[in-house]
Structure formats: structure tokens, C-alpha cells
């Protein structure tokens, strides 16, 4: 397929590379910043454009992979007809592309991407939604070309997925940062905790998290929890986090 | 070395196996429950005992690996002299073994262990503390026999490590559980999030967490955060967690 990518951020970059590696042609890369478009276009041997009117109408698929609040603007300016147009956003409904009618769809890779770090795309869950059977077919086949995990997910379910991802990714990363700060304040390196962080995530790859919960809260070990709160006495904010999450773990256990 | 293990839980089990694999002899395994002692003893070809007075005085090292609040009791009953005696607890001071004087030490593996799941012990940070140079030497060498990561960590630093581990392990696992619950309530499987969970932990193996924070809070994306809070409107407790952690991420960014 000839695929035009609108956007040059983390998702656009990883997705374009995965599609290219699977044998598809990246036709054009659009970004309002020509240097951004050119960098990605160079890697996937595409044409870079920074004028949305320069986007050719002869691609087989248009993927809008930009910040959530730019999707509607980009969509309103994209002058293609009778061609599938999809976005890649977890938080945006299919209806944001309603001007493309039955040609609209969603192609949402549920993963956290950084430009510096390679991701094995075959393990990335691809959540697809489509306004018609023909777009569904196209996205399903395209998804399977690059990933072993293709799911059909409605707009409502995708919203829940996106919210869950905040709990499963953004918030844990912030807790790692709290741990790093506590260590640093006491002359200890975050490297000491890295194996624990990885093993904690690895444990739930084949178990459910409630089955492998450890720590003082799930043991109702009040003495240790009080000692920890005492160590945090100069930081009421961290005490509040400690108390709230410990309370949640205790509730989880009893439910 | 001839090593006697007091305890038969997760840490005792993984540690005994690692020491055995490194060529050391596990001499005896003690547990008040003979069947627990016997199970571990069988795997490491040791003698199982459930009477603490049956512990022989001729081992080269005694490792007390029991629940924190049982360490002092076990230590008070262990009738060995002039032999190194260590515990494996993150939250317990070296002084809990003060009756062994200069022979006391700590051999704390900083990892989360489950009996069902293998761990690569060579990547487990071993935090050692010793009351004397001779015990320090023994523990350092023993540590290097089984791990590439041996650190000398004081009682005060170990307390901080243990607290940090709650933030880096126990609390993230609870957040995974929240995500699982949100998905389950909407007919979605936790499997959708597993690659994200693993990648989030993998990202900080070579980066610091504050450098790779993603999500609506770090972008100050109020619209998405309000939408998420709206989706949680029937669960004030989860709303509180969402608000508090998002506030922390915003603070982190501005600090």
C-alpha cells in the first residue's frame, strides 16, 4: 500500500518505520515543520511536505498521527476523497473524522514510544475501529502485517483503554521518579532499583496483578507502614500518596 | 561454604537455590513447619529440621530469612558462636542481630520473589552490611558468587531502599490492578496493557524516569484529565488517586 503519514512525532515515527519494514511504501510525510517532516521522510524514503495542500490524493491510506487537539484541524484541511483516513489517538473518537464518512477509521497502537528507543512492533497491541467493512478489512490486514496483536475496539472501549494506560504507564513511571528522588537524597543510585522495576512489570506478564501484590500494605504490616510514613515526615505530599495507595491495596485485599 | 538457612519462604528459597548453584553446600534448612523445611531442603540437598536446637554449630554461615517480626525471636534461640549470622531483611537494622556481635551481618537481595517464578540472581542487587571486616569479606565474596551487583549499604540507607521499593514495586503493581479492574468492567482484557506495562519498566532501565514521563499530566492536558475524571465519577477513591498522582507529575515537571 501507498501510505501518507500526517505527523512526525513518536507514534508517527515508529508506525512509519514498522509499515515500511513490512513492505509498504510511505508516500509522503507531512508536518508543518519541514525539517521534522524531512527527518522522518528520509528514514522511510518518502517525500516530505509542510504544505497540507501539497498532499497528493493518490495514496491508498492517510494516517493522521498528531497531537489530539490538532486532529480535527488537520482533518478539516485534508483534501482527499474516497480514500481511507485514520487517526492513531486513544483519546479521540472515530467521529472526529466524520467528514470522511465511511472512509474513516482508527489505528491506535497501545504503547509508549520514545524516538530514541526501539520497540518490537509485533508485540504492540493495535486497536482498530472502522466506519465501514471495507476500512475494517484494510486496517485488519495492515495491522497484522506489523503486529501479532490486532484488536477491534470501539470508541467507548478505547477511552477506557486510554484511561487505564495512564494508571498502568504514566503513574507507575511517576512512582519510579519518587523512588529515584528518595534514593538520590540519600546518596543512593536508581540503578539499585532497576531490576526490581523490571521484575515487577515482568511478573504481571503471566499473572494478574492482584495475585502477585507484595509489600507492607497487603500484609497489613502497620509497623512498617508507620515507619515509612515517619521517614517521609518532611514531605506531606509523599505521605499522602503513601497513605492513599496503601489504603487502596488494603481495600483490594479485602474485596 | 557450608550454609544453614533459617526460613523457607520466597527469599530463602531463591537464595538457597542461587547459593547451591554457585557451588556452596546448603547444610540445613530450618522451619518450624517440617514440611516447609523439607520441601526446600529436598531441592537443595540439605537436611530439614523443625527444632531450632537441632541446628548444628558447624556451618560456616547462618542466614536468617524469615518474616521481619520473627527475626529477633529466631536470633535469640539460635545457639551458635563465633560464626557469621546474617539476616536478609530490608527493613530490619543490623542491630537486630547484636547478640552475635562482630559476627553479625545483613545480606539483603533487593528483588521481589515469587516461588513460582524464576529470577536471574546475577542481576539481583545484593545489599550487604557487616559488623566487622571479616564478615564484610565473607559476604562480599559470597555475594559476587551469585550476583553481578553487590553493594555495601548501611542500615539507614537500607531503610530508604526499602521505602523506595514500595514506591517502585508495590505501588506500581497496585496501579496495574486498578487498570485491570477498569478494563474488566468494560469487557476488555488486561492482556491489552501487558506490553505497555513491560515497556514502561524497560524504558527506565537506561533512562531516568523524569526524562521519559508521558501522559496528560506532564503535557498539562487539562481537557483529557477532566475527561478521565469524568469517566471515574462513580469511584471517588480512584478519582482521588488520579488527582493526587497527576498533581505530583505536574509538580515534578515544574521543579
| E strand spans, B83-176 | 85-87, 104-109, 126-130, 150-152
Same domain, A94 and A209: no
Position A255 scores a pLDDT of: 67
Position A119 scores a pLDDT of: 87
Cα dist from A18 to A97, A125, A141, A151, B98, whole Å: 24, 13, 14, 18, 60
Position B253 scores a pLDDT of: 74
**Any chain A CB within 8 A of the CB of B170?**
yes
In 3D space, the residue among B114, B116, B108 whose CA is nearest the CA of residue B63 turns out to be B108
Window 27-46 of A: residues touching B by CB (8 A cutoff) are none
Domain span holding position A233: 158-254
Name residues whose C-beta falls within 8 Å of residue B181's C-beta, 6 or more positions apart in sequence: none
Instruction: State the average pLDDT over residues A75-98.
Output: 95
Same domain, A111 and A216: no
The Cα B94–Cα B104 span in angstroms is 7
**Any chain B CB within 8 A of the CB of A54?**
no
In 3D space, the residue among B247, B246, B169, B164 whose CA is nearest the CA of residue B201 turns out to be B169
Task: Say which of B169, B221, B228 has its CB closest to residue A200.
Answer: B169
Task: Say which of B187, B201, B218 has its CB closest to residue A197.
Answer: B201
The Cα A68–Cα A46 span in angstroms is 24
Answer whether residue A69 shows pLDDT above 90: no
Name residues whose C-beta falls within 8 Å of residue A247's C-beta, 6 or more positions apart in sequence: A217
Position B255 scores a pLDDT of: 67
CA distance B199 to chain A (A): 7
CB pairs A-B closer than 8 Å: 296
In 3D space, the residue among B123, B162, B168, B130 whose CA is nearest the CA of residue B146 turns out to be B123
ipTM value, please give it: 0.91
Task: Say which of A119, A195, A204 has its CB closest to residue B199.
Answer: A119
Q: Is A244 within 8 Å of B249 when comparing Cβ atoms?
A: no
Q: What is the pLDDT of residues B65-124, one digit of tens each?
A: 999 889 999 999 999 999 999 999 998 999 999 999 999 999 999 998 877 788 899 999
Among all chains, which residue has been given the C-alpha cell 497487603? A218
Same domain, B35 and B147: yes
Which helix (H) or strand (E) element contains residue B240?
helix B236-254
Same domain, A80 and A185: no
**Any chain B CB within 8 A of the CB of A91?**
yes
The Cα A7–Cα A4 span in angstroms is 10
Same domain, A128 and A188: no
Same domain, B180 and B206: yes
Name residues whose C-beta falls within 8 Å of residue B238's C-beta, 6 or more positions apart in sequence: B178, B232
Q: Is B209 within 8 Å of A169 when comparing Cβ atoms?
A: no
Among B121, B153, B185, the domain boundary falls at B153
The Cα B73–Cα B90 span in angstroms is 17
- Percentage, residues of chain A above pLDDT 90: 92
> Which ranges constitute the DSSP H helices of chain A?
10-21, 34-44, 71-77, 133-146, 155-165, 171-184, 194-203, 222-231, 236-254
Coil, helix or strand at residue B175: helix
Bridge-based pairing state of the strands B47-49 and B104-109: unpaired
Nearest CA in chain B to A125: B192
The CATH code of the domain that includes B63 is 3.40.50.720
Residues of chain B with pLDDT under 50: none
Answer whether residue A76 shows pLDDT above 90: yes
Bridge-based pairing state of the strands B61-64 and B2-6: parallel
Bridge-based pairing state of the strands A126-130 and A104-109: antiparallel
Name residues whose C-beta falls within 8 Å of residue A6's C-beta, 6 or more positions apart in sequence: A12, A30, A31, A52, A55, A62, A63, A64, A65, A66, A74, A78
Q: Residue A108's beta-bridge partner residues?
A: A127
Name residues whose C-beta falls within 8 Å of residue B147's C-beta, 6 or more positions apart in sequence: B18, B109, B121, B122, B123, B124, B125, B126
The residue of A119, A122, A147, A209 whose CB has the most chain B CBs within 10 angstroms, and thus the best one to mutate to test that interface, is A209
Answer whether residue A52 shows pLDDT above 90: yes
Position A116 scores a pLDDT of: 78
Same domain, B74 and B116: yes
Bridge-based pairing state of the strands B61-64 and B47-49: unpaired
Say if CB B215 and CB B250 are below 8 A apart.
Answer: no
In 3D space, the residue among B101, B97, B56, B108 whose CA is nearest the CA of residue B79 turns out to be B56
Q: Residue B75's beta-bridge partner residues?
A: none
What is the tally of structural domains in chain A? 2
Mean pLDDT, rounded, of chain A: 95
Q: What is the pLDDT of residues A209-231, one digit of tens each?
A: 999 999 999 989 998 999 999 99
Same domain, A195 and A224: yes
Answer whether residue A166 shows pLDDT above 90: yes
Position A54 scores a pLDDT of: 97
Same domain, B193 and B128: no
The CATH code of the domain that includes A179 is 1.10.1040.20
Among B126, B153, B180, the domain boundary falls at B153
Q: Is B160 within 8 Å of A169 when comparing Cβ atoms?
A: no
Amino acid at each position: 500500500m501507498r501510505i501518507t503519514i500526517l505527523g512526525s512525532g513518536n507514534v508517527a515515527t515508529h508506525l512509519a518505520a514498522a509499515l515500511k519494514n513490512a513492505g509498504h511504501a510511505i508516500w509522503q510525510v507531512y508536518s508543518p515543520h519541514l525539517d521534522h517532516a524531512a527527518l522522518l521522510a528520509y528514514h522511510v524514503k518518502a517525500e516530505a511536505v509542510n504544505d497540507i495542500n501539497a498532499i497528493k490524493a493518490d495514496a491508498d491510506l492517510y494516517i493522521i498521527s498528531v497531537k489530539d487537539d490538532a486532529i480535527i484541524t488537520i482533518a478539516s484541511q485534508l483534501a482527499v476523497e474516497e480514500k481511507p483516513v485514520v487517526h492513531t489517538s486513544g483519546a479521540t473518537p472515530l467521529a472526529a473524522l466524520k467528514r470522511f464518512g465511511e472512509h474513516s477509521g482508527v489505528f491506535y497502537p497501545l504503547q509508549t514510544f520514545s524516538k530514541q528507543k526501539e520497540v518490537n512492533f509485533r508485540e504492540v497491541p493495535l486497536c482498530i475501529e472502522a466506519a465501514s467493512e471495507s476500512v475494517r478489512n484494510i486496517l485488519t490486514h495492515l495491522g497484522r502485517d506489523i503486529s501479532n496483536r490486532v484488536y477491534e475496539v470501539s470508541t467507548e472501549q478505547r477511552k477506557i483503554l486510554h484511561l487505564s494506560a495512564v494508571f498502568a504507564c504514566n503513574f507507575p513511571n511517576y512512582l519510579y521518579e519518587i523512588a529515584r528522588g528518595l534514593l538520590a537524597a540519600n546518596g543512593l543510585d536508581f540503578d539499585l532499583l532497576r531490576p526490581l522495576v523490571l521484575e515487577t512489570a515482568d511478573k504481571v506478564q503471566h499473572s494478574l496483578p492482584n495475585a502477585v501484590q507484595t509489600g507492607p500494605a497487603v500484609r497489613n504490616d502497620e509497623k512498617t507502614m508507620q515507619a515509612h510514613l515517619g521517614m517521609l515526615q518532611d514531605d506531606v505530599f509523599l505521605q499522602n500518596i503513601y497513605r492513599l495507595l496503601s489504603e487502596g491495596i488494603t481495600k483490594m485485599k479485602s474485596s
